[in-house]
Amino acid sequence: MRIRFWGTRGSLAKPGPGTVRYGGNTSCVEVRTADDTLIILDCGTGAHELGQDIMAQEPQPVRGHLLITHTHWDHIQGFPFFAPLFVPGNVWDIYAPGGMGRRLEETLAGQMEYAYFPVTLEQLGATIHYHDLVEGAFDLEDVHVTARYLNHPGLTLGYRLQVGGALVVYATDHEPHARPPLEASRKSGAGSHVLPVHREDREHIEFLRGADLLIHDAQYTAAEYPQKIGWGHSPIEYAVDVALAAGVKRLALFHHDPTHDDDTLDRLVEVCRGRVAASHGALEVFAAAEGLIIELAEGEGITAPGAERTESAAVDEMGEATVGAAKVLVVDDEPDIVGLLLATLEPEGYRLLSAHDGEAALRLARVERPSLILLDWRMPGKDGLEVCRLLREDADLELRRVPVVLLTAQMGQENISAGFSAGVTDYLTKPFKPAHVRSRVRGWLLRSRQDAAEGRSSNPESP
């Protein structure tokens, strides 16, 4: 398996003398297997040069797969400039997270509307198949792909690609679930690594488990991160910690911040290597650079551990209608918070219900059987934890399984643990950013729909 970086920058292309070594183009990574399966991860501005390379080197027609993590600009801006899409006879399968209200094809067509671009999507000459994805696994020729939602203010999938014994994980545009990230749970002593309290951080580590190469979001430093919480990107220290905890062999820092020039990235790599040395780990860390090629031996088919949770079909054949009509119950004793959440979710087309205390929430939940409950922790009378415990003991199986997301301003370790043992599915931390709320709600609904279809509980720690 050969991996080549064509774009490593996050957020905005940043060409210039300060970025010549690590590159100024936005996210685009080429993956090619020994059997010549071509997979492209994201289609940022780096896709232009990749397209030129394919046109010059590759026998025509070209067959390829494009896996898009999400449709923020820096991941699709190269799409209209990717030459192999214009050639009749070429066949491309394009995959991206579905369920955001607009299907993939419409989203890509949106950035090619006349006001932005002179060529429309219909004018692309290649045969293009669009696929909406949810969490799960599927095969692209000889590559086994597992997709998992990341924590980002836009519904985003990370991809785990396995061919034989070679395993690469692409996890960009992701931030820690716990606040503060992992730091508090770091164990001291030789060979120490983190054991996060937040279930979603633990499952993220399982998703990365055993990777030969992990390409991970590393946009900020721990010092920069407090100003950037909710923007959906990781501090480099978190990338190192999760890579160590997951037993990863090589970590490529990725999605470089536009303000981090080459010299800054050199320093950040040293910081990361120091962190690995301090924990006596064996992880190799480098910063992804445009043009860099990594070869991984495919060897025999040894299945790496981890990521078992999502071994269901990821290609979304159920469509987004079920999620579009989903009932969401919002519970908070502060009317302003309820109003804000309802206003944020209203354009998504959900059927929204609200309550202002625990008793009312329980009554409404039993009558309406919502698909998701956003539940304030601190309320007079029955608080969020108590309501959640009662739901988990309810006679109605649907209420026992409904995802319950606790709204809280406090994310201490004890708080996180208390919530999960009460059967809470996840947390949403105040203050919220609307884009973050929308993408997380969509993710919880899609995940629980998958879980229900496969008879699995969204709340593994509940009875």
In the complex, minimum distance from the CB of residue 370 to Zn ion, in angstroms, rounded to a whole number: 29
| 94, 130 Cβ separation under 8 angstroms | yes
Nearest Cα to 365, choosing from 334, 339, 390, 337?
Answer: 390
- Residues 6 or more apart whose CB falls under 8 angstroms from that of 103 comprise 130, 132, 320
Q: Which span sits near Zn ion by CB under 5 A: 69-77, 132-140, 283-291, 293-301?
A: 69-77
Strands 38-41 and 63-67, by their bridges, are: parallel
Q: Site size for Zn ion, by CB under 5 A?
A: 4
- The residues in 8-27 that bind Zn ion, with binding defined as CB under 5 A, are 10
Q: From the list 30, 42, 49, 74, which residue makes contact with Zn ion (rule: CB under 5 A)? A: 74
The single-letter DSSP state of residue 319 is: -
Q: Per CB under 5 A, which of residues 161..190 are in contact with Zn ion? A: 173
> In the complex with Zn ion, which residue's Cβ is closer, 229 or 283?
229
- Is the Cβ of residue 27 or residue 457 nearer to Zn ion in the bound state? 27
Question: By CB under 5 A, which span of 5-13, 140-148, 365-373, 383-391 interacts with Zn ion?
Answer: 5-13
Question: Taking the complex as a whole, how short is the minimal distance between the CB of residue 11 and Zn ion, in angstroms?
Answer: 6
Nearer to Zn ion, 165 or 258 (CB): 258
In single-letter form, the type of residue at position 457 comes to S
Is 217 a residue that touches Zn ion (CB under 5 A)? no
Pick between residue 217 and residue 426 the one whose CB is nearest to Zn ion. 217
Min separation Cβ 69 and Zn ion, Å: 8
Residue 438 binds to Zn ion (criterion: CB under 5 A): no
Could you tell me the smallest distance in angstroms from the CB atom of residue 170 to Zn ion?
Answer: 12
What does the H/E/C string look like for 251-299? EEEECECCCCCHHHHHHHHHHHHHHHHHCCCCCEEEECCCCCEEECCCC
Determine the distance from the C-alpha atom of residue 36 to the mean position of all C-alpha atoms in its chain, rounded to a whole number: 27
Instruction: Please identify the residue of the shown chain whose CB is closest to the bound Zn ion.
Output: 72
- The residue type found at 204 is H
Q: Which residue has the tokens 């491309």?
A: 92
Residue 439 or 462: which CB sits closer to Zn ion? 439
User: Do 329 and 368 touch, CB atoms closer than 8 A?
Assistant: yes
| Least distance between Zn ion and beta carbon 75 (Å) | 6
The minimum distance between CB 245 and Zn ion, in angstroms, equals 24
Q: Does residue 72 touch Zn ion according to CB under 5 A? A: yes
| Residue 248 DSSP one-character state | -
Output the smallest distance, CB 391 to Zn ion, in A.
Answer: 33
- Closer residue to Zn ion, CB minimum distance, 169 or 329: 169
Residues from 126 through 145 that contact Zn ion (CB under 5 A) = none
Residue with structure tokens 């997270």? Answer: 97
Contact 241, 235 (CB under 8 A): no
108 within 8 A of 76, measured Cβ to Cβ: yes
Question: Is-contact 457 401, C-beta < 8 A?
Answer: yes
Residues contributing to the site for Zn ion (CB under 5 A):
10, 72, 74, 173
